[in-house]
């Protein structure tokens, strides 16, 4: 089957939509983690912002876990309950409690959904709803699968044997005429086609409703202030930053924020930190609530993020919108924005190449840092203007909803 790929262009008038239908386009959205949690990073914020901007023609019902990533305790007062978030109904499920499943299925069976939108390729929150739709336990007309970067080589390399086996078993369930795929970039669309050649793809970036912040006050003194914000795990590549900092000869403050997702990896990073020269001050400052992220970025001269792969990289948008330049790998969709003034793209992802860029920032003058911050904010504003277009749920409603 020929791959069908539609792409939002952001042309004038693209946001225009017909009058709301008498019957809304009903969507059942599933994801592993959601608000009030935040440890799962960008996907939580992207889905939240999607719900903020979806049109009134779309009615969303969401199912998610009743606790945050890595937590053994449920959210207070939410477990096993339906809660309203704006126009969206959200059910907080404890998968270990059969009573929750019975109540959930009884509720979902009363509705015929136009679309099932799952936000993972192999999470339980995706597998079970797809199976339920295939055996008609729940009534679903079409399915939209968002791999969320899980088909990137860096992601496939983790537990590679299990994932290859899973894909072999899971492919037949996804080879269904009613299954579509959500790619957040042309690169992710290519990855989807590589794994599923028959895939029908809807390409639309994740929603970013962050307004550009005004230029923050700048401390003009030394030393340069660098920051890392993200999950502490191998794919985010914090260890490379620490290794690069070991080559510094100029004073640097480097602060790390984020959940310690991989304790062994964090232990390795701390071991590397024992080799840092006295001019480098590294501090782990804990986790950041979502509302703290952009004010935190505004206090730094650069965000250092040599990630091994991002299907989107919401945290990059947060940094740029706070006028904080980004030093990043070329494994994200943000490379054109960074090259246009938002920061630096590392094609050579090595400690030596990263150290060279960090030294460049460390030796820059206060005026040069101010100009870099201003350029980062301007690059974000330009990107945000050109990124206008319907969100993924309205895009599917308008383009394939009637098929």
Of 195, 197, 210, the residue nearest 151 (C-alpha): 195
CATH no. of 224-386: 3.40.50.2000
pLDDT of residue 7: 45
* Tokens 């899973």 found at: 166
What does the alpha-carbon distance between residue 315 and residue 329 come to, in Å, rounded to a whole number? 14
Mapped onto helix, strand or coil, the DSSP state of residue 88 is: strand
Domain segments of the chain as ranges: 5-208+388-399, 224-386
Are the folds of 5-208+388-399 and 224-386 the same?
yes
Q: Where are the alpha helices (DSSP H) in 119-230?
A: 124-134, 153-156, 160-174, 186-195
Pairing outcome for strands 302-305 and 5-7: unpaired
pLDDT of residue 219: 60
C-alpha distance from residue 399 to each of 17, 118, 202, 214, 363 (Å): 12, 19, 9, 37, 51
Q: Which residues pair with 28 in a beta bridge?
A: 61, 116
pLDDT of residue 4: 43
Architecture of domain 5-208+388-399: 3-Layer(aba) Sandwich (3.40)
Task: Per residue of the chain (403 residues), give pLDDT as tens.
Answer: 333 444 444 433 444 445 555 689 999 999 999 999 998 888 898 899 899 999 999 999 999 999 999 899 999 999 999 999 999 999 999 999 999 999 999 999 999 999 999 999 989 999 999 999 989 999 999 999 999 888 888 788 878 888 888 888 888 888 887 899 999 888 899 999 999 999 999 999 888 877 777 766 656 567 999 999 999 999 999 999 999 999 999 999 999 999 998 999 999 999 999 999 999 999 999 999 989 999 999 999 999 999 998 888 999 999 999 999 999 999 999 999 999 999 999 999 999 999 999 999 999 999 999 999 999 999 999 998 887 778 999 999 988 765 5
pLDDT digit string, tens, across residues 224-279 = 999 999 999 999 999 999 999 999 999 999 999 999 989 999 999 999 999 999 99
Backbone angles phi, psi at 25, to 5 degrees: -80, 110
**233, 391 Cβ separation under 8 angstroms:** no
Read off the DSSP letter of residue 233.
Answer: S
pLDDT of residue 385: 83
Mapped onto helix, strand or coil, the DSSP state of residue 19 is: coil
pLDDT digit string, tens, across residues 128-165 = 999 999 899 999 999 999 998 888 887 888 788 888 88
Tell me what percent of the residues of the chain surpass a pLDDT of 90.
Answer: 71
pLDDT of residue 3: 39
What does the alpha-carbon distance between residue 398 and residue 400 come to, in Å, rounded to a whole number? 6
- In our burial notation (b when 16+ CB lie closer than 10 A, e otherwise), range 217-230 reads eeeeeebbbbbbbb
Pairing outcome for strands 302-305 and 224-229: parallel
What does the alpha-carbon distance between residue 208 and residue 313 come to, in Å, rounded to a whole number? 11
Of 205, 253, 265, 259, the residue nearest 229 (C-alpha): 259
**204, 184 Cβ separation under 8 angstroms:** yes
């Amino acid at each position: 089957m020929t791959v069908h790929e539609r792409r939002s262009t952001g042309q004038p008038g693209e946001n225009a939509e017909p009058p709301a239908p008498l019957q809304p386009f009903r969507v059942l959205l599933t994801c592993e983690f959601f608000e009030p949690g935040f440890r799962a990073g960008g996907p939580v914020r992207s889905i939240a912002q999607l719900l903020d901007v979806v049109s009134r023609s779309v009615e969303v019902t969401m199912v998610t876990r009743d606790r945050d990533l890595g937590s053994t305790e449920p959210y207070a007062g939410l477990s096993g309950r339906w809660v309203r978030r704006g126009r969206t109904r959200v059910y907080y499920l404890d998968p270990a409690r059969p009573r929750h499943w019975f109540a959930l299925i009884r509720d979902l069976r009363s509705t015929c959904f136009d679309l099932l939108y799952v936000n993972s390729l192999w999470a339980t929150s995706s597998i079970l709803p797809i199976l339920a739709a295939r055996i008609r336990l729940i009534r679903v007309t079409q399915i939209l699968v968002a791999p969320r970067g899980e088909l990137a080589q860096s992601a496939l390399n983790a537990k590679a044997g299990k994932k290859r086996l899973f894909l072999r078993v899971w492919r037949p369930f996804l080879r269904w005429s009613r299954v579509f795929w959500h790619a957040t970039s042309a690169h992710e669309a290519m990855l989807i086609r590589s794994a599923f050649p028959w895939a029908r793809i809807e390409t639309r970036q994740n929603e970013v409703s962050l307004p550009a912040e005004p230029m923050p006050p700048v401390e003009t003194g030394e030393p340069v202030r660098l920051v890392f914000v993200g999950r502490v795990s191998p794919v985010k590549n914090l260890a490379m930053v620490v290794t690069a900092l070991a080559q510094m000869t100029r004073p640097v403050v480097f602060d790390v924020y984020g959940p310690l997702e991989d304790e062994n990896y964090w232990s390795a990073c701390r071991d590397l930190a024992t080799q840092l020269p006295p001019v480098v001050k590294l501090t782990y400052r804990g986790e950041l609530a979502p509302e703290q992220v952009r004010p935190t970025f505004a206090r730094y001269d650069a965000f250092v993020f040599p990630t091994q792969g991002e299907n989107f990289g919401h945290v990059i948008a947060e940094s740029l919108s706070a006028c904080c330049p980004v030093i990043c790998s070329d494994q994200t969709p943000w490379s054109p924005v960074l090259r246009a003034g938002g920061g630096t793209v590392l094609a050579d992802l090595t400690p030596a190449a990263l150290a060279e860029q960090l030294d460049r920032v460390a030796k820059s003058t206060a005026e040069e840092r101010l100009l870099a911050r201003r350029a980062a904010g301007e690059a974000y504003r330009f990107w945000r203007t050109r990124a206008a277009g319907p969100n993924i749920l309205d895009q599917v409603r308008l383009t394939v909803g009637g098929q």
